């Protein structure tokens, strides 16, 4: 929906609109480049800018009609560029985060901020140390990147899909629908499988695997979770703040997060759920998983029980469903009481000790059954991809195929919400660009 809403902004940054004629011109000339980059997302564009600054002749091949199509979706269109957390906090926000330690020593959050501010983009800091454009427009970020590509004479081939990549003794041959483009080095920056409507269809995995790389099975991450219990659909649109969510099996905890959730037509979403979804993706096919909601995480069992006793005593002649208006959002009360097996018409002074104990338990351990995650169509990032053990963390060059570089979401690294994934993309693109 947001993608459609921003179509007008996107068109402004589409260059060389006659993509077919442009491709034909390049192919007819049998042009040879120093670098061919597959994918014009944040990592590919940054790699192109940095390589261009160093005098390299660069060509970026992009299947869409403009650069950074997926960037328009980040931060609900406001583009959460990075986060001002310290390095150690940053690394803990990723799966395989330690792989990024050397890259972040070369280009980190303050460097990214300086990069954009020096090029005319004013930024602002919001809660959680998140950094956004002052204008709240992702299109302004794209405008800066587009300007820098032009400045550094980076060739862009839009509406072009890479069919194959071949390696000869001297060059890489990048096969597109109308012929071949030749290059000394290739960067795979074509993303993962998340938001396939933006062009991320997993093509890069095929090319990387062809050159001998191990592909960790791609799974959706930063997405919603599908819940089995039908009554949750009645809660669609209800937002809960300051709740503790646990993902558990029958006998152990997998992970937990504190913060905000949002009920949806299929189950549950919101920042906390997005951050837990990658772990759920990895485990859901192996075992039965449950979501535990603690509505009152700041209270002990004893404190919560004392509060209920006080509420019931002070409102002894009120219906339980009305007393609960001070405990839960109104739309949750009916189903919560039904779930607890307690009649909402019962008066406060009629609640038995066993019923009160059941209410306490369910307020802090409300169990829902997880069916699945909402899938790649809704996932912001991909968990899985090219094994980090096979990539030089200092340069982003393949350890298996010299001259092949990898950047961004194609790599088996994924972060939590808050600007971490864009920083990862820009950083790995930067590091690849300066070592091409």
pLDDT of 178: 80
Where is pLDDT greater, at 30 or 362? Answer: 362
- R_g (Cα) of the chain, nearest Å: 25
* Helix H or strand E segment including 291: strand 289-294
At 149, is the pLDDT very low, low, confident or very high (cuts 50, 70, 90)? Answer: very high
Give the CA distances from residue 146 to residues 48, 49, 156, 162, in Å, rounded to whole numbers and listed in that order. Answer: 11, 9, 10, 22
The pLDDT value recorded for residue 74 is 85
- Does residue 290 surpass a pLDDT of 80? yes
* CATH, domain range 2-219+382-435: 3.50.50.60
Give the CA-trace dihedral at 100, 101, 102, 108, to 10 degrees.
80
391, pLDDT greater than 80? yes
Give residue limits of the domains in the chain.
Answer: 2-219+382-435, 224-374
pLDDT value, residue 21? 55
Quick check: 160 and 177 in contact, CB under 8 A? yes
DSSP state of 55: T
pTM over 0.85: yes
Largest interatomic CA distance in the chain: 88
Task: Return the CATH fold of 224-374.
Answer: Helicase, Ruva Protein; domain 3 (1.10.8)
Helices (H), strands (E): how many in the chain? 15, 20
Q: State the burial class of residue 128 (Cβ atoms within 10 Å of its Cβ: 0-12, 13-18, 19+).
A: middle
pLDDT > 60? residue 30? no
Tokens in use for 5?
Answer: 């809403």
Segment (H or E) for 272: helix 271-283
> pLDDT tens for residues 89-135?
999 999 999 999 999 999 999 999 999 999 999 999 999 999 999 99
- pLDDT tens-digit map of 368-383: 999 999 999 999 999 9
In terms of phi and psi (left: phi > 0; alpha: psi -120 to 50; beta: otherwise), the region of 175 is beta
Q: For a pLDDT cut of 70, what percent of the chain falls above it?
A: 93
**Average pLDDT score over residue span 59-65:** 96
Which alpha helices (H) appear in 33-177, and where do they start and end?
Answer: 42-53, 87-92, 101-106, 109-118, 138-151
**Res 181: pLDDT:** 96
Q: Find the DSSP H helices in 318-365.
A: 320-323, 330-339, 353-364
Burial, 349: exposed, middle or buried (Cβ in 10 Å; 0-12, 13-18, 19+)? exposed
Whether 381 contacts 222, CB under 8 Å? yes
């Amino acid at each position: 929906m947001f993608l459609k809403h921003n179509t007008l902004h996107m068109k402004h940054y589409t260059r060389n609109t006659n993509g077919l004629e442009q491709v034909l011109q390049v192919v007819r000339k049998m042009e040879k480049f120093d670098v061919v980059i597959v994918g014009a997302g944040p990592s590919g564009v940054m790699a192109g800018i940095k390589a261009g600054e160093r005098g390299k002749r660069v060509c970026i091949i992009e299947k869409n009609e403009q650069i950074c199509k997926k960037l328009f979706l980040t931060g609900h269109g406001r583009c959460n560029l990075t986060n001002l957390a310290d390095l150690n906090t940053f690394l803990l926000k990723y799966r395989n985060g330690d792989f990024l330690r050397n890259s972040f020593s070369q280009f980190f959050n303050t460097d990214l901020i300086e990069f954009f501010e020096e090029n005319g983009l004013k930024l602002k800091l919001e809660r959680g140390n998140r950094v956004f454009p002052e204008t709240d427009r992702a299109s302004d970020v794209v405008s800066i990147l587009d300007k820098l590509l032009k400045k550094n004479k980076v060739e862009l081939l839009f509406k072009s899909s890479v069919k194959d990549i071949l390696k000869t003794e001297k060059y890489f041959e990048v096969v597109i629908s109308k012929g071949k483009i030749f290059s000394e080095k290739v960067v795979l920056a074509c993303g993962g499988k998340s938001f396939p409507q933006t062009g991320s269809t997993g093509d890069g995995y095929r090319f990387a695997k062809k050159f001998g790389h191990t592909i960790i099975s791609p799974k959706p991450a930063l997405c919603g979770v599908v819940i089995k219990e039908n009554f949750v659909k009645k809660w669609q649109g209800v937002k809960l703040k300051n709740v503790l969510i646990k993902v558990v099996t029958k006998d152990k905890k997998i992970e937990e997060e504190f913060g905000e959730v949002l009920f949806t037509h299929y189950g549950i979403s919101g920042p906390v759920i997005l951050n837990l979804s990658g772990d759920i993706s990895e485990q859901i096919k192996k075992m039965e998983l449950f979501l535990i909601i603690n509505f009152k995480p700041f209270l002990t069992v004893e404190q919560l029980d004392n509060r209920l006793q006080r509420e019931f005593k002070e409102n002894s002649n009120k219906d339980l469903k009305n007393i609960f208006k001070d405990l839960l959002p109104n739309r949750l009360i009916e189903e919560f009481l039904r779930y607890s097996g307690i009649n909402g018409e019962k008066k406060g002074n009629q609640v038995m000790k066993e019923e009160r104990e059941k209410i306490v338990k369910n307020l802090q351990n409300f169990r829902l059954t997880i069916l699945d995650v909402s899938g790649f169509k809704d996932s912001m990032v991909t968990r899985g991809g090219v094994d980090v053990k096979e990539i030089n963390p200092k340069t982003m060059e393949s350890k298996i195929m010299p001259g092949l570089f990898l950047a961004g979401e194609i790599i088996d690294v994924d972060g939590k919400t808050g600007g971490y994934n864009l920083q990862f993309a820009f950083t790995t693109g930067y590091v690849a660009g300066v070592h091409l």
